[in-house]
Amino acid sequence: MIEHKIIFTGSVGAGKTTAIQSISEIPPVRTDVLSSDLTIGKDMTTVGLDYGEISLGETERLRLYGTPGQERFAFMWRILAQGALGVVILVDHTRPDPLLDLALYLDHFKALIRETACVVVISKMVESHSPLLEDFSEFMRQKQMVCPVIQADVRDREQVLWILDLLLVQMETRQ
Ligand SMILES: Nc1nc2c(ncn2[C@@H]2O[C@H](COP(=O)(O)OP(=O)(O)OP(=O)(O)O)[C@@H](O)[C@H]2O)c(=O)[nH]1
Ligand SMILES: [Mg+2]
């Protein structure tokens, strides 16, 4: 069995825990607790990690790790990034400054992104609001980071599988 470690990271509430829950074949490991921070707009937040698994055929398995979104847990980001072969960065479009959010995770995971593969996923996208999808793509180009930028609803299993497909294509083309 060949196993690849994949990281889901990105802003608070962008859907890292939800994405892993949508596709995991095992009951996901979650470390969500009631949040004391009323500004994040939901009751629970991840304080350790999420973990799930999905197999690809009979010979390959993806180990899916979700990071906490809050920057105070950045030490966990480094721990979780070790040995990963790809990273999915989720950006909640409804937060005050989604480009700034993206910049934060690009910066923290830049070594992983340059050495492995990356997909940027805009969640909760309100298409009439800026930044537009092409603004995110342009932002990536300016940073000279080559990753597809898509919008998706990670509550939908099919869409999360599509994200993984895109990531696997990146992984293959960079080998
Ligand atoms: N309306 C809408 N809701 C979404 C979408 N994607 C995810 N959600 C919801 O947004 C919330 C995301 O919460 P989590 O999955 O806990 O987010 P997280 O990224 O793990 O957050 P932290 O662990 O706190 O950093 C869930 O309630 C989802 O149902 C979307 O595209 N549209
Ligand atoms: Mg979470």
What CATH number did the domain enclosing 106 receive? 3.40.50.300
CA distance 69 to 101: 10
Domain residues for the domain of 79 are: 2-174
**Mean of pLDDT values over 80-93:** 97
Distance 58 CA to ligand 2 centre (A): 29
39 has pLDDT over 90: no
CA distance 113 to 109: 6
The tokens for 128 are 């009439």
pLDDT digits (tens, 9 = 90+) for 149-163: 999 999 999 999 999
**Mean of pLDDT values over 36-44:** 86
Ligand 1: which atom is nearest the Cα of residue 46? Answer: 23
Ligand 1 pocket test: which of 30, 151, 155 has the largest number of ligand atoms within 8 Å of its C-beta? 155
Distance 91 CA to ligand 2 centre (A): 13
Exposed / middle / buried, residue 100 (Cβ in 10 Å: 0-12, 13-18, 19+):
exposed
Distance 97 CA to ligand 2 centre (A): 19
**Structural domain tally of the chain?**
1
Nearest-CA neighbor of 8 among 69, 99, 97?
69
